[in-house]
Amino acid sequence: MTIDELRATAAARRETCARIKRMIVSRLDLPIEPEWITDDQPLFGRGLELDSLDVLELYVAIEAEFGVALYDSDMSVFGSVSRLAGHVDPALTLAETSA
Amino acid sequence: MESPIAQPAGAVHGDILEARVALRYTTLAEEYGAIRERAAVLDLSGARIIEIGGADAVDFAQRVLARDVEYLTAERCMTSLVLDADGRVVDQVVVWGRETGMLLESSVGGGARLLEHLTGLAGDGVEITDRSAELTLFGLEGPYSWGVVGRLIDGELAALPFESVVDTEWDGVPIVFARTGFTGEYGYKVLLPRTEAQRLWDAAVAEAVPAGQEALELAMLEVRQPLVHREAGAADILEMGANWLVDITKEDFVGRDAVLAAFAGPEGMRTVGFTTSADAPAAGTPVTVDGERIGEVVHAVHSVGLDAALGLIRVPADLAAAGLRLTVGDAEVTTLTSPYVTPKSWSTPII
């Protein structure tokens, strides 16, 4: 890939991550700018320190925003914003595994 | 800083800043396997324990810590960065709330620099005391470390909420117990008198595998837990990706103005993980695209979990994303989404 093609691939993931961050800040009413959250930031425990009630809110929000249903048993999707991006937009994960 | 624990024959040691630590006791694979599959016990005596006391202890802690500790009780702990006025990382600490003041647990090897920084900022009404000659620290990490807590100390402590702290006893010895860790697995720490360290260590290694610093740092890297002595250098916290260890909504703390200025400025370099089937490249190895240098390796090791090299590169923000194929040195690498290894504890209930 040329550097411009790499930038375009990166921009697609960054845009999905940005949508997720805006959704999290808005739905959970967090007092921070979405851009303060990093793509690699964990969402539970350390990191954003979300709790189980926040998870329920995010399940609803993700389905509304991205049309993707997540389930209780799949907590690893909340490992980071970027990990979540790969789940709501499978094309990103495909790009990662085929890179 | 030397460990209070008698070191077994065959242990390999090394220096991390001021601390002489066990890098491994047996093999990296065995010790890493214990962290990710069973339970490991960690000698964390290379971390200094620094007490902030005095009438103005809480106000001082609020000023020097990048996260909000105003309401941190004696039953809680939290992880925070300590920054200098330029917003650079002095150290990453665990803050243990106490009835009077707070205890700061430095990173392994980072205590001397932290102590000097705190002492330089403290004024009247604040007492900074290095308690490392009296207290030391052990850790337990692993998807079944909760079972070790039950057999060794008290089963009720195993399921404490994350970042809880309890004053209790082990075999008549007063200890401070916390549920906190580094690796994404169930993690616990025990703060105890240095004079009792060998006895508790001997009891712990009968229940869990001793793991050295190499296995611990690998497991930390795999979940993107910052390794300050490897990642910080001249980078600011945005370049490190350590934003989550800074409470940007806090009204004031040392380094805040620099952090805000960097956040308001143009995006610079950012850090992203990578893997390659080639050998782990050295820190500083150039990252290139079509022969053009765009960044460099921050830190890389061989990941037992991935059976491949794993590391971090620092590249321009518009290229700091997972799923890209870049060149590091002469090798092709692929950038990754964090966490790079999913901790088993995330799907292992405490029973």
Amino acid code (one letter) for B15 = D
Nearest CB to A7 within list B79, B318, B334: B318
Cβ–Cβ of B346/A76 closer than 8 Å? Answer: yes
What ipTM does the predicted assembly reach? 0.89
Tell me what pLDDT residue A48 has: 73
Q: Does the structure show a pLDDT above 80 at A93? A: no
Q: What is the pLDDT of residue A82?
A: 93
Question: What are the structural domains of chain B?
Answer: 1-264 (3.30.1360.120), 266-351 (2.40.30.110)
Shortest distance between the Cα of B45 and any Cα of chain A, in A, equals 23
Quickly state the pLDDT bin for A87 (edges 50, 70, 90): confident
Would an 8 Å CB–CB cutoff place B260 in contact with chain A?
Answer: no
Interatomic CA distance for residues B333 and B145, integer angstroms: 34
| Residues spanned by the domain of A43 | 3-98
Contacts of B326 in chain A (CB under 8 A): 6
Predicted local distance difference test score (pLDDT) of residue A73: 58
What does the pLDDT average to over B233-243? 92
B window 134-153, beta carbon within 8 A of A:
none
pLDDT at residue A54 in the model: 83
pLDDT at B220: 96
Selected for mutation to probe chain B from A5, A30, A38, A54 (highest B CB count within 10 Å) is A38
| A38/B243 CB distance under 8 A | yes
pLDDT of B83-100, one tens digit each? 999 999 999 999 999 998
Quick check: B226 pLDDT over 80? Answer: yes
Residue range B301-310: mean pLDDT, rounded:
95
Per the structure, how many domains does chain A have?
A: 1
Give the residue-averaged pLDDT of B152-171: 95
pLDDT in tens, B2-29: 899 999 999 999 999 999 999 999 999 9
Considering only CB atoms, A82 lies closest to which of B162, B334, B338, namely B338
Hey, are the CB atoms on A6 and B79 less than 8 Å from each other? no
Whether the predicted pLDDT of A34 surpasses 90: yes
For residue A82, the domain's CATH number is 1.10.1200.10
Cβ-defined contact of B289 to A3 (cutoff 8 Å):
yes
3-state secondary structure labels for all residues of chain A: CCHHHHHHHHHHHHHHHHHHHHHHHHHCCCCCCHHHCCCCCCCECCCCCECHHHHHHHHHHHHHHHCCCCCCCCHHHHHCHHHHHHHHCHHHHHHHHHC
Give tens-digit pLDDT for B29-66: 999 999 999 999 999 999 999 999 999 999 999 999 99
Asked if the Cβ–Cβ distance from A96 to B248 is below 8 Å, we say no
